[in-house]
Amino acid sequence: MLVMTVFCSALAQEFRCAVSVNPQKLLTTTQAYESGGDKKIFENMKQAIDDFINGRRWTNLEFQQQEKIDCSFSLILQQRNSATDFVAQISVQMRRPVYNSTYTTGLFNYMEQPTFSFSYNESQPLDFDLNNFSSILSSTLAYYCYVMLGVYFDSFAPNGGDPYYQMAQQVVQAIDVSKYSGWDSKGGRSRYWFMENHTNSAYASLREAYYSYHRLGLDMMTRDQPAARQAILQALRGLQQAHRRNTTMLSLQQFVDVKIQEIVSIFTPAPPEEQKAVYNIIRDISPINVTKLKGFNTK
């Protein structure tokens, strides 16, 4: 199991990331750039992103092939302002294996609502240095890699993601927010807030929830379902505690959105008092999802 083998150094990359670049909107508008050479840029962009995420070492830890982190990264191109300047939307997903089963659980599933602008030049590699800004595209890719690593390792050990959130914080701090939008604290859905939510000690129960839900909950399901459900219920109570400190926390809503269908499956066979507790928590922290618990005991 990964948690038992990962704390060693080696030369293995961490991610098994499926990368896609979707230029469909550009190819069906006047921004099509119909020549074969211009269309080739999208293939090259995809390969460059793939190499950047999958070919780079992001930690000093050892991953066996079967332990690589399954994720996907999609760049949905919305606009092309010049041969090298683009506007796009990002979608990121990540999954985690559950111990002693063939089941994988969603850990991160997020589509940025605002678009972002970036430059991509085929003749220049996607360079990245944590201490020096190279480009907005490479910084954005690196930021999400570090956030995913933080969430992933939080699910295996208490505060296991600390070093990766700190690296994500360094990426954010290196950005000149006067030039690039989506990185400062002004927007409630900016990249700043994912990092802040996971490094602010006021929201420690959010971090604890990742560990309780996954390591003490899902990973123990085949051994002791009642105890595993209690651990998951405790995780949800931790989210509720964080919610009371900040009712608009982006990371908390992302957690619930990813997990809600799984929570329904886990607690559908649970005793009425557990169903009621789950219902009340979800009603409190994510009212938009409460209709998905319509079969739960609420009395």
Mark which of 169, 199, 229 sits at the end of a domain: 199
**Are residues 12 and 80 located together in one domain of the fold?**
yes
Report the b/e string of 24-62 with b at 16+ CB within 10 A: ebbeeeeeebeeeeeeebbeebbebbbebbbeeebbebe
The lowest-confidence range among 28-42, 57-71, 168-182, 231-245 is 28-42
Mark which of 158, 179, 199 sits at the end of a domain: 199
Q: How many domains does the chain have?
A: 2
Does position 10 have pLDDT exceeding 90, yes or no? no
**Are residues 85 and 221 located together in one domain of the fold?**
no
**Are residues 161 and 219 located together in one domain of the fold?**
no
Which residue's entry shows tokens 């896609």?
20
The pair of three-digit structure tokens given for residue 111, joined into one six-digit string = 């589509």
**Are residues 20 and 156 located together in one domain of the fold?**
yes
Distance CA 110, CA 251 (A): 10
Mean local confidence (pLDDT), 34-55: 84
The pLDDT, as a whole number, for residue 188 is 63
Is 170 inside any structural domain?
Answer: yes
Q: What amino acid occupies position 50?
A: D
C-beta separation of 175 from 116 below 8 A: no
Does position 148 have pLDDT exceeding 70, yes or no? yes
In the chain, what is the straight-line distance between the N-terminal and C-terminal CA atoms, in Å? 41
Q: Which helix (H) or strand (E) holds 65?
A: none
Is 227 inside any structural domain?
Answer: yes
180 compared with 34, residue with greater pLDDT: 180
What residues does 15 pair with on adjacent strands? Answer: 69
Distance CA 71, CA 144 (A): 11
Is 268 inside any structural domain?
Answer: yes
Is 123 inside any structural domain?
Answer: yes
The pLDDT, as a whole number, for residue 256 is 96
Surface-to-core class of residue 207, CB atoms within 10 Å of its CB (0-12 exposed, 13-18 middle, 19+ buried): buried
pLDDT digits (tens, 9 = 90+) for 82-137: 889 999 999 999 999 999 999 999 999 999 877 889 999 998 889 999 988 999 99
Is 298 inside any structural domain?
Answer: no
The pLDDT, as a whole number, for residue 124 is 87
**Are residues 179 and 53 located together in one domain of the fold?**
yes
**Are residues 181 and 214 located together in one domain of the fold?**
no
Structural domain span for residue 214: 205-293
Is 126 inside any structural domain?
Answer: yes
The DSSP 8-state label assigned to residue 14 in this structure reads -
3-state secondary structure of 101: coil
CB atoms within 10 A of CB 152: 24
Q: Which helix (H) or strand (E) holds 141?
A: helix 136-154
**Are residues 108 and 10 located together in one domain of the fold?**
yes
**Are residues 140 and 268 located together in one domain of the fold?**
no
**Are residues 20 and 132 located together in one domain of the fold?**
yes
Is 66 inside any structural domain?
Answer: yes
**Are residues 102 and 177 located together in one domain of the fold?**
yes
C-beta separation of 195 from 168 below 8 A: yes
Is 133 inside any structural domain?
Answer: yes
3-state secondary structure of 110: strand
pLDDT digits (tens, 9 = 90+) for 181-226: 888 877 666 788 888 899 999 999 999 999 999 999 999 999 999 9
**Are residues 168 and 53 located together in one domain of the fold?**
yes
The structure's pTM equals 0.91
